[in-house]
Amino acid sequence: MIRLVIVDDHPIVRGGLRDTFADAEDIIVVGEAGDGAEGVERAKGLAADVVLMDLRMPGMDGVAATAALRERVPDSRVLILTTFDSENDVLPAIEAGAIGYLLKDALPDELMRAVRAAARGESVLAPSVTQHLMGHVRRPGAGTLTDREKEVLQLVANGSSNREAATALFIGEASIKTHLQHIYDKLGVRDRASAVAEGYRRRLLT
Amino acid sequence: MIRLVIVDDHPIVRGGLRDTFADAEDIIVVGEAGDGAEGVERAKGLAADVVLMDLRMPGMDGVAATAALRERVPDSRVLILTTFDSENDVLPAIEAGAIGYLLKDALPDELMRAVRAAARGESVLAPSVTQHLMGHVRRPGAGTLTDREKEVLQLVANGSSNREAATALFIGEASIKTHLQHIYDKLGVRDRASAVAEGYRRRLLT
DNA sequence: CTGTAGATCCACCGAACGGTGGAGGCGCGA
DNA sequence: TCGCGCCTCCACCGTTCGGTGGATCTACAG
């Protein structure tokens, strides 16, 4: 039996979730909380296996609560269930130690499978969330720009167009475009502006 | 005859400058001051043509004094004479309205030529100061992004297209383009990629 | 010696961007 | 009250960029 705690500041949402899991024979909702701090207490006191956590809440938010839980109740798994899938929400949550990240448009069936997966220690991510992670998970071999690619990126950061970068490096414009495509792939971005941003974040640029 | 006022908190320096200009037949030191506020008063009361201004002073510093002078005595020219040539000193002084910027290692002869040039309304800059200005040709008011502009730049750094940034901020795409044009102007760049680079260099972005 | 990684180059296309020159509204301080 | 800074929006246009799917060459390691 999976012991589940629901943390969400909306009573309506909590109600809906409780109903959803009422049908499941292997899942029991042992407690609820309306904010992060309360959620941590409940999860600890009730020995939760899985905590279903909203992100945006008054007081202690979901990320902080997740981090606190990971520290104080390491055996419980935190499954994020929220409306937002922007990078700014996803990444901190994962970093804080959430094992899964679902969106609130998930079907009840998906939700239950996700809770069971989380209880087994498996990771479940909503498809759109996976996208965000792709670019930030450093695949082996990826995330490392070649010297040439770094040169190109630096030139772009300094305001060079493809043509100008080509002239500066004594190569053709086509090669600059190819290098840039490789850079985009490796950094998980789609355009030169965010490539430059990633370059600074990863300290590849000065 | 050029009426000169010396503003410096060190009596020794003031003495040295007075001596220097004692030889000049077309320059007369009509007054001295030990801090910015006093300097503004003297320059105004004595109808100074040129004010030789130190930057680091107790009380009102050279930048503030320069700004005050430009406003209250528009006819007088402020010539900065200081030991420091870092960007953080140079740029604010120029923006405040100084017509020239010399370092204290200048020879007496250079100094006098500079005062005469300033009196004629010409700009005189120490060579190392010129360097700093090259990359930062900033008109007054430039160099500071508004909150909105910072938001836009951050979104662009995170990979947003103009359209996506517009959606995120609940405004039209045209407004994003306008904001970006202003950002380019202020940062002295021509495209989003180098704007992002400048944003990181100036610690406007995370 | 053969696979792999890196660097170079090509063509085509639609979409996005940058440049220019506006315009109106709002709030704040001189 | 007037001006200024800021934010918002518009149209037009040429240029650049990004995406795709190739290709050749070199150097190096297995």
Taking only the tens place, the pLDDT of each residue in B70-86 is: 777 878 889 988 877 66
C-beta neighbour count of B40 within 10 angstroms? 26
pLDDT of residue B91: 63
Strand A50-53, strand A77-82: pairing: parallel
- Which pLDDT does position B33 carry in this prediction? 94
Which contiguous run of DSSP H or E holds residue B53?
strand B50-53
**CB spacing of B194 vs A161 below 8 angstroms:** no
User: Measured between alpha carbons, how far is B69 from B114 in angstroms, rounded to an integer?
Assistant: 19
Four-point Cα dihedral A170, A173, A178, A179, nearest 10: 40
pLDDT confidence of residue B142: 42
Q: Which is more confident, A87 or A46?
A: A46
DSSP B104: T
| Pairing assessment for the beta strands B2-7 and B50-53 based on DSSP bridges | parallel
Which has more pLDDT, B6 or B56?
B6
pLDDT at A144: 77
Confirm whether any atom of chain C, the nucleic acid strand, is less than 7 Å from CB of B148. Answer: no
Please tell me the least confidently modeled range out of A26-30, A138-142, B113-117, B140-144: A138-142
Instruction: Give the pLDDT mean for A130-144.
Output: 48
Strand, helix or coil for residue A58? coil
Predicted confidence band at A135 (pLDDT cuts at 50, 70, 90)? very low
Confidence check: pLDDT of A142 > 50: no
Query: What is d(CA B7, CA B184) in angstroms, rounded to the nearest whole number?
Result: 37
The number of C-beta contacts closer than 8 angstroms across A and B is 55
Structure tokens at A138: 């450093």
Taking phi over 0 as left and psi of -120 to 50 as alpha, with beta for the rest, B113 belongs to alpha
Sequence-distant (6+) residues with CB within 8 A of A123 are: A99, A100, A117
Task: Give the full edge-to-edge strand order of the sheet including A2-7.
Answer: A27-33, A2-7, A50-53, A77-82, A100-103, A124-125
Whether the predicted pLDDT of A3 surpasses 80: yes
Name the residue in chain A with its Cα closest to that of B206.
A201
Q: What's residue B1's pLDDT?
A: 93
Instruction: Report yes or no: B49 and B23 within 8 Å, Cβ to Cβ.
Output: no
Residue B158 CB contacts under 8 Å (≥ 6 apart), including other chains: A87, A194, A197
Model confidence at A201, pLDDT cuts 50, 70, 90, reads confident
* DSSP code for A25: S
* pLDDT > 70 in chain A, percent: 87
Residue type, B37: A
Q: What is the pLDDT of residue B86?
A: 62
Give the tens place of pLDDT for each residue, A86-125: 656 676 777 677 888 888 878 888 889 889 988 987 777 7
Spatial distance from the CA of A141 to the C1' of C18 (Å): 36
Q: What is the DSSP string of A89-151?
A: HHHHHHHHT-SEEEETT--HHHHHHHHHHHHTT--EE-HHHHHHHHHHS--TTTT---HHHHH
Q: Give the C-alpha separation, A112 to B131, whole Å.
A: 65
DSSP A205: -
Looking at residue B27, what is its pLDDT? 95
**A67 neighbors A97 (Cβ within 8 angstroms):** yes
Instruction: Please give the Cα distance from A55 to A91 (Å, whole number).
Output: 12
Strand partners, B81: B102
> From start to end of B43-99, where are the E strands?
50-53, 77-82
To test the contact with chain A by mutation, choose from B177, B184, B196, B198 the residue with the greatest count of A C-beta atoms within 10 A, namely: B196
**Nearest chain A residue to B159, by CA:** A194
Shortest distance between the Cα of A12 and any Cα of chain B, in A, equals: 27
Nucleotides of C under 7 A from a protein CB: 5-11, 16-23
A5 by DSSP, 3-state: which? Answer: strand
What would the mean pLDDT of A52-61 be, rounded to a whole number?
A: 87
- List residues of A whose CB lies inside 8 A of any B CB: 87, 156-159, 161, 189-197, 200, 205
Query: What's the mean pLDDT when you consider all of chain A?
Result: 84
Catalogue all structural domains in chain B, each as residue range(s) with its CATH number: 2-138 (3.40.50.2300), 147-202 (1.10.10.10)
Q: Which of A48-52, A133-137, A144-148, B98-102 is predicted with the least confidence, judged by mean pLDDT?
A: A133-137
CA distance B118 to B128: 18
Assign B95 a pLDDT band (cuts: 50, 70, 90).
Answer: low
Q: What is the structure's pLDDT at B87?
A: 55
Nearest chain A Cα distance for residue B158, angstroms: 5
Residue recorded with tokens 């100008």: A164
Taking an 8 Å cut-off on Cβ atoms, the answer to whether B192 and A192 are in contact is yes
**pLDDT surpassing 50 at residue A136:** no
pLDDT band at A145 (very low <50, low <70, confident <90, very high): confident
Does the pLDDT at position B151 exceed 50?
A: yes
Residue range A167-199, pLDDT digits in tens: 989 899 999 999 998 898 888 889 999 999 999
In this structure, which amino acid lies at residue B144? T
| A157, A196 contact by CB (below 8 A) | yes
Question: CA-CA distance, A158 to A46, in Å (whole number)?
Answer: 56
Q: pLDDT-based confidence at B134, cuts 50/70/90?
A: very low
Q: Report the pLDDT averaged over residues A120-147.
A: 61
Higher-confidence position of A192 and B58: A192
Closest chain A CA to residue B201: A206
Q: Which residues have C-beta within 8 Å of that of residue A146, sequence separation ≥ 6?
A: none
Which tokens sit at A71? 């520290």
Among A157, A158, A197, beta carbon nearest to B158: A197
Nearest-neighbour CA in chain A from B97: distance (Å) = 29
B-chain CB neighbours of A190 within 8 Å are 159
- DSSP state, residue A85: -
In this predicted model, which residue has the larger pLDDT, A126 or B198? Answer: B198
